[in-house]
Chains A and B, each alone.
Chain A
Amino acid sequence: MTGNGKPKLAMYWASSCGGCEISVLNIHENILTVDEVFEIVFFPCIADFKIKDLESYPDGYIDLCLFNGAIRNSENEEMAHLLRKKSKVLVAFGSCAYEGCIPALSNLTTKEATFNKVYIDNPTIDNPDGIFPQLVSKVDEGDLFLPNFYHTVKSLDQVIDVDYYIPGCPPEPHQIWAVLQVVVGALTEGLPLPPAGAILGAGTTALCEECSREKHEKTIKRFYRPYEIQPDPDQCLLEQGIICLGIATRAGCGALCPSVGIGCRGCYGPPDGVEDQGAKMLSAIASVLDVGDESMEEDKLEELIQEAVDTIADPVGTFYRFSMAHSILKRVKNGKGAV
């Protein structure tokens, strides 16, 4: 592969879904500018560079590496270390790399339960010998190898140093393009890069700022499941009793989900100043739940509040939908530790 002086770009996926790659392509004609400016040197989604090629590059060869996907298994981690070595600037791209995202919901269960469900206990399985995938399996011709499925899903910064974060599941194309323009400016015109550790391609405050629904004082008496009511199209969803994590979520996407009548689930992560998005959402929901007052008896208070709290289905899975790997507690007990 002959070099040609252009800055080198890599995009890699660990435990992910490919949505980040599609979102990059959704910058549409701007992709032609990316092609003009950068030389792609590792991007398994669309190009055939193999791991051997990556290993052969000098350290720091890659100018910009967009790393998406969570750290689920040993292969994901190995690739994280390898790409860190070979990259000048490495970005945790998208919610999985940033804070765990959907794959990290697996931290609410265990590896054993997962393997049991997938390979033993389901309606279509035909596995009378109880075979599980093995790290090493012997076939007639030799040995075959698979990576080790860790007990806990980690975010990228829990295994390597990360230079920047771009939140979102996936990051919105207009935000991706904005960030790429900043990088291109730095590479071609010497413009300054943001401070290390910065969260790029997003706002700093809560999503409510971007949401066009009308907001009034929140005096919520109870919550509804999305199919239990027909929400008013103009009024704040949370005020109508539909769980919306916008109040504890970083702005940046344009409040797309509320604009079609569906409550936000927090895929852009917490706003500035919040460590644990789920706990903050819990606190915020409790603040706006207008049930019980200081004139009531203690027993009556508890009863009323319990009733209201019971209208929230699956608080942990909802409030931590995308941020489990960055949460304070990180996982449920499993008797096996975090890896």
Chain B
Amino acid sequence: MERITIDPITRLEGHGKIEIFLNEEGDVKNAYLQIPELRGFEQFSIGRPAEEMPRITNRICGVCPEAHHMAATKALDALFDIDPAPVVKKLRELFYSAFYVTDHTVHFYALGGPDFVLGPDSNPAERNILGVIHKVGVDIGIQVIECRKRNHEVIKMLGGRGVHPVAGLPGGWSKSLTKEERDTILDFSQKNIDFALFSLKIFDDIVLANQAYVDLIVSDAFTHKTYYMGTVDDKNQINFYDGLIRVVGPEGKELVKYPSKDYAQHIAERVEPWSYLKFPYLKDVGWNGFVDGVDSGVYCATPLSRLNAADGMATPKAQEHYERFYETLGSQKTAGLYAPVHHRLATHWARLVELLYAAERMQELANDPEILDPNVRPIVTNTPTEGVGSVEAPRGTLTHHYKTDENGILTDVNLIVGTTNNNAPIAMSIKKAAEGLIKGGVVSEGLLNTIEMAFRNYDPCMSCATHSLPGQMPLEVQIKDAEGNLIGTQSQYID
């Protein structure tokens, strides 16, 4: 059996490799996504004081430590049975919104954007952030750097540090906001809104105005009909910080809506011997293999799925763009609600809609007079037992579950991490893309990039750079016969 290995997968957080097997005709028989790493946070957190978890679980991911910090802090709220004061929730959500702005910005410009702004078949030398700059203007790179800079300043202001924040406490936050800080954040939030609208305009001008790209987005190779998960408020609008977890089916029908403490009733995880990463699926539907459809418990948790799982956005400009998103992609409206969009590449657009929402939300919260209340650090006296906390990480619903003894020392920990939710759908997307492109054993240059695009729209947990892709993606694909003899190579930019 012929075999193609792509190792390592690059431009994601962590390590991964893809193994593709061809049948006798040279068509794709199967493709496997292997994650070769494990650190074991669930085990070594046992014996640690629970209040240390916001700072320990930060280190699960240095790109989205804010997400783990927040999920952990909310788990502590539940553990100690405290409902935080309104100022605490607002301060946390303000911090979290700044994080969303910087994180989504970087993914669009450095990872997802180049494929669209320049096109999947464009010259690979140009297909990176530098090419984006050439196409849309040299100010772009500086704007992206400035966006990251100001939002990381907010993260540091509120969380203590630019990476791996520390301020989360059970029922509280370790520092309050001063008036000067609030005014700075207000100013930044307007700049963020302008930047989000600008980014959406780029998407309009460069992607939506180009029929070839639109065809790509709606093509079958990149379409999967699965369940979609997201967190919603009491109006079924997206909220990244808090709400109920909602899952809708491929036709848009709500399957279930539950508080995070019930997560174990709805999610189960499978193990395959060829990957260290587990495969979550919906218990309410059951596991039916790596397949699409209403009978398959495979679900995804991405910006696209959040938009699909919600009925709308909670801020006005984002809501406008939400509607435009569904209308443009031809979604049928029934009883005032849009049917889900299944085109995975549309996730890049959904991400920009969320970027706008995060910026508007930041402004709303900064304008709230309660945000200056200094009473953010309560004294906690309850005896801890067990608690679950969840947030929407940019890459998916993130759940932390802690059990402790009466001294608050952890006795058990379970975590369902953002990208983990998407392990099965990512694998399916890779396989479908490979099937569509490799025929008769012929490996084309388009394959190399398309496999990456199939992976990339999920924003696998490593967003990066304001620039610095060489444009020439050196990649070598080896084709071996059943005895392992090399019979052909396809490579680009390897001397």
Does B59 sit at the interface, judged by CB under 8 A? yes
Name the residue in B15, B21, B171 with the highest tally of chain A Cβ atoms < 10 Å from its Cβ: B15
Instruction: Report B265-297 CB contacts with A as 1/0, cut-off 8 Å.
Output: 001111111111010110000010000000000
Does B414 sit at the interface, judged by CB under 8 A? yes
Cβ of A264 to closest chain B Cβ, rounded Å:
9
Q: Which residues of A contact B394 (CB under 8 A)?
A: none
Instruction: Report B255-266 CB contacts with A as 1/0, cut-off 8 Å.
Output: 000000001100
Does B52 sit at the interface, judged by CB under 8 A? yes
Neighbour of A108 across the interface among B32, B44, B164, B170, CB < 8 A:
B44
Docked Cα-Cα span, A101 to B467, in Å, equals 29
Does B220 sit at the interface, judged by CB under 8 A? no
Q: Which residues of A contact B40 (CB under 8 A)?
A: 106, 109, 114, 117-118
Given known contacts A48-B473, A105-B44, A118-B38, A170 and B163 CB-to-CB distance under 8 angstroms:
yes
Cβ of B130 to closest chain A Cβ, rounded Å:
9
Q: Which residues of A contact B59 (CB under 8 A)?
A: 17, 19, 101-103, 169
A-B contact count (CB 8 A): 298
Does B361 sit at the interface, judged by CB under 8 A? no
Q: Which residues of B contact A35 (CB under 8 A)?
A: 467-468
Cβ of B430 to closest chain A Cβ, rounded Å:
14
Instruction: Report B211-222 CB contacts with A as 1/0, cut-off 8 Å.
Output: 000000000000
Residues of B34-61 contacting chain A, CB below 8 A: 34, 36-40, 42-49, 51-52, 55-56, 59-61
Residues of B318-355 contacting chain A, CB below 8 A: none
Does B3 sit at the interface, judged by CB under 8 A? yes
Cβ of B278 to closest chain A Cβ, rounded Å:
7
Given known contacts A127-B270, A140-B30, A133 and B38 CB-to-CB distance under 8 angstroms:
yes
Do the beta carbons of A137 and B273 come within 8 Å of each other?
Answer: yes
Do the beta carbons of B468 and A26 come within 8 Å of each other?
Answer: no
Cβ of B35 to closest chain A Cβ, rounded Å:
9
Residues of B1-42 contacting chain A, CB below 8 A: 1, 3, 6-8, 10-11, 13-15, 19, 21, 29-30, 32, 34, 36-40, 42
Docked Cα-Cα span, A29 to B56, in Å, equals 30
The stretch from A84-92, A177-185, A187-195, A311-319 touching chain B is: A311-319
Does B198 sit at the interface, judged by CB under 8 A? no
Given known contacts A257-B166, A261-B377, A73 and B37 CB-to-CB distance under 8 angstroms:
yes
Given known contacts A1-B474, A113-B43, A133-B273, A21 and B7 CB-to-CB distance under 8 angstroms:
no
Do the beta carbons of A1 and B494 come within 8 Å of each other?
Answer: yes
Does B472 sit at the interface, judged by CB under 8 A? yes
Does A15 sit at the interface, judged by CB under 8 A? yes
Neighbour of A262 across the interface among B37, B174, B401, CB < 8 A:
B174
Do the beta carbons of A117 and B42 come within 8 Å of each other?
Answer: yes
Give A141's nearest chain B residue, CB to CB.
Answer: B21
Q: Which residues of A contact B268 (CB under 8 A)?
A: 124-126
Do the beta carbons of A124 and B263 come within 8 Å of each other?
Answer: yes
Does B238 sit at the interface, judged by CB under 8 A? no
Neighbour of B264 across the interface among A117, A123, A142, CB < 8 A:
A123
Does A60 sit at the interface, judged by CB under 8 A? no
Give B401's nearest chain A residue, CB to CB.
Answer: A123
Q: Which residues of A contact B148 (CB under 8 A)?
A: 25-26, 28
Given known contacts A52-B476, A52-B494, A103 and B145 CB-to-CB distance under 8 angstroms:
no
Q: Which residues of B contact A313 (CB under 8 A)?
A: 49, 407-409
Q: Which residues of A contact B197 (CB under 8 A)?
A: none
Do the beta carbons of B62 and A21 come within 8 Å of each other?
Answer: yes
Neighbour of B163 across the interface among A26, A45, A144, A147, CB < 8 A:
A26
Do the beta carbons of A19 and B171 come within 8 Å of each other?
Answer: no
Do the beta carbons of B276 and A48 come within 8 Å of each other?
Answer: no
Name the residue in A44, A72, A142, A227 with the highest tally of chain B Cβ atoms < 10 Å from its Cβ: A227
Neighbour of B475 across the interface among A31, A50, A259, CB < 8 A:
A50
Given known contacts A109-B46, A118-B43, A133 and B7 CB-to-CB distance under 8 angstroms:
no
Give A322's nearest chain B residue, CB to CB.
Answer: B59
Docked Cα-Cα span, A22 to B161, in Å, equals 12
Given known contacts A23-B162, A142-B1, A75 and B39 CB-to-CB distance under 8 angstroms:
no
Cβ of B177 to closest chain A Cβ, rounded Å:
12
Neighbour of B465 across the interface among A1, A46, A137, A228, CB < 8 A:
A46
Does B152 sit at the interface, judged by CB under 8 A? yes
Does B464 sit at the interface, judged by CB under 8 A? yes
Do the beta carbons of B3 and A139 come within 8 Å of each other?
Answer: no
Cβ of A199 to closest chain B Cβ, rounded Å:
20
Given known contacts A22-B163, A124-B263, A17 and B62 CB-to-CB distance under 8 angstroms:
yes
Q: Which residues of A contact B166 (CB under 8 A)?
A: 256-257, 260, 262
Q: Which residues of B contact A295 (CB under 8 A)?
A: none
Give B167's nearest chain A residue, CB to CB.
Answer: A260
Instruction: Report A5-48 CB contacts with B as 1/0, cut-off 8 Å.
Output: 00000000001111111110110110110010000100111111
Do the beta carbons of B163 and A23 come within 8 Å of each other?
Answer: yes
Does B462 sit at the interface, judged by CB under 8 A? yes
Given known contacts A18-B14, A18-B461, A256-B160, A144 and B37 CB-to-CB distance under 8 angstroms:
no
Does B469 sit at the interface, judged by CB under 8 A? yes
Cβ of A140 to closest chain B Cβ, rounded Å:
7
Q: Which residues of A contact B235 (CB under 8 A)?
A: none
Instruction: Report B404-416 CB contacts with A as 1/0, cut-off 8 Å.
Output: 0001110010101
Docked Cα-Cα span, A265 to B165, in Å, equals 12
Q: Which residues of A contact B408 (CB under 8 A)?
A: 225, 313
Neighbour of A314 across the interface among B47, B141, B377, CB < 8 A:
B47
Q: Which residues of B contact A113 (CB under 8 A)?
A: 43
Do the beta carbons of A146 and B43 come within 8 Å of each other?
Answer: no
Do the beta carbons of A227 and B169 come within 8 Å of each other?
Answer: yes
Do the beta carbons of B174 and A50 come within 8 Å of each other?
Answer: no
Cβ of B51 to closest chain A Cβ, rounded Å:
6
Do the beta carbons of B464 and A261 come within 8 Å of each other?
Answer: no
Give A261's nearest chain B residue, CB to CB.
Answer: B174
Instruction: Report A115-151 CB contacts with B as 1/0, cut-off 8 Å.
Output: 0111100111111000111100101111010110100
Do the beta carbons of B271 and A169 come within 8 Å of each other?
Answer: no
Docked Cα-Cα span, A6 to B317, in Å, equals 46
**Interfacial residues, chain A to chain B (CB-CB below 8 A):** 1-2, 15-23, 25-26, 28-29, 31-32, 35, 40, 43-53, 56, 72-73, 75, 101-103, 105-106, 108-109, 113-114, 116-119, 122-127, 131-134, 137, 139-142, 144, 146-147, 149, 169-170, 172-173, 225-230, 253, 256-257, 259-262, 265, 313-314, 317-318, 321
Instruction: Knowing that A108-B44, A133-B273 touch, tell me 17 more A-B residue pairs with CB under 8 angstroms.
Output: A15-B39, A17-B60, A19-B59, A46-B465, A53-B476, A53-B494, A56-B495, A114-B40, A125-B268, A133-B275, A141-B29, A146-B276, A170-B163, A227-B378, A265-B55, A314-B47, A314-B48
Write 15 A-B pairs (CB below 8 A) sorted by A numbering. Answer: A1-B472, A17-B63, A18-B62, A26-B163, A105-B45, A105-B56, A106-B40, A125-B271, A132-B273, A133-B38, A141-B21, A147-B36, A260-B160, A260-B175, A262-B160
Minimum-distance CB pairs A-B, first 6: A19-B62, A141-B21, A114-B40, A260-B160, A48-B473, A137-B273
